[in-house]
Homo-oligomer: A and B are copies of this chain.
Amino acid sequence: MIGVFDSGIGGLTVVKKIFEFLPEYQVLYFGDTARTPYGNRGKEVVKKYALEAAEILIKNGAKIIVIACNTASALAADFLREKIKMPIFEVVTPTVDKALQVTRRQRIGVIGTRATVNSKIYEKLIKARDKKAQVFQNSAPLLVPLVEEGWLNKPETKMIIKKYLLPFKLQQVDTLILACTHYPFLHQIIQQKMGRQVKLINPGEETILSLKNFLNQHPKIAQSLPKNNQHRFLVSDANDKFRQLAVNWLGQKIKLEEVKI
């Protein structure tokens, strides 16, 4: 199975991209809802949680792991690759590839959680590939709770987004990485505020496109993965909020299985 894990519910936006680009494959999801969010936590804690999440996926049959969470990708991907001998996809690398493809003036913005921004991972990877690129990073911690509350179109949300985007506008970025699973819900408002000429990049989409590419190039692995729609959704806390957001976000009712952490 294609295993996907996230700090909580946000990874469902990445699952949606699997349904879109790799619809034949069975998905196994784990959302660490008993310990969400990861975005304000320290590196060691995120590494521990990410390893436990990956182990839950493996125990339940995952043969490929997708780290849907930007924070876990930023802080724990190298650590997981040391510990686990299995293809591991994180969201940062394919996003950097895409950003460098589309940027015209090498002015790239990154908006994400505090932990992702503090890790400076996007900046490091972009500059390692293009020394002339300039990277502008800012965290936007209130966007996750606003999205989870479903406040997508409220005036307060628009005002807060405007405030968070101001430094990117002042820096005249031409490309903006939406470095958190929750932000694609705000794509339209962010595009409006940034202006049409700014390219927005959704790491979940880039990651699933790179996974698709990998499966095309590794037909044996692709053939070995089960193909059916008996997707499974594991969570560490099967609370009502997750259930309700899952319906809203995936457009279908899902059965939650609670696992002990």
Contact = CB atoms under 8 A, between A and B. Distances in A.
B145 A156 contact: no
Contact of A41 (B40, B41, B141, B239): B239
Contact of A40 (B141, B151, B241): B241
A41 B45 contact: no
Contact of A35 (B34, B42, B144): B34
Nearest to A163: B156
A170 interface: no
A45 B237 contact: yes
Contact of A159 (B148, B155, B163, B241): B155
A249 to B, nearest CB: 16
8 contacts: A34-B35, A35-B35, A41-B239, A45-B237, A45-B239, A142-B142, A156-B156, A156-B159
Interface string A143-164: 0111011010001100110010
A238 interface: yes
Interface string A14-34: 000000000000000000011
A114 B241 contact: yes
Shortest Cβ-Cβ A-B pairs, 8 listed: A42-B239, A45-B237, A145-B145, A34-B45, A42-B237, A156-B159, A35-B35, A156-B156
A41 B159 contact: no
- How many identical subunits does the complex contain? 2
Interface of A: 33-35, 40-42, 45, 114, 141-142, 144-146, 148-149, 151, 155-156, 159-160, 163, 236-239, 241
A233 to B, nearest CB: 15
A239 B145 contact: no
A95 to B, nearest CB: 25
A164 to B, nearest CB: 11
A238 B156 CA distance: 32
A155 B156 CA distance: 9
- The CB with the most chain B CB atoms within 10 A, among A33, A42, A151, A241, is that of A42
- The CB with the most chain B CB atoms within 10 A, among A155, A236, A239, is that of A239
A145 B141 contact: yes
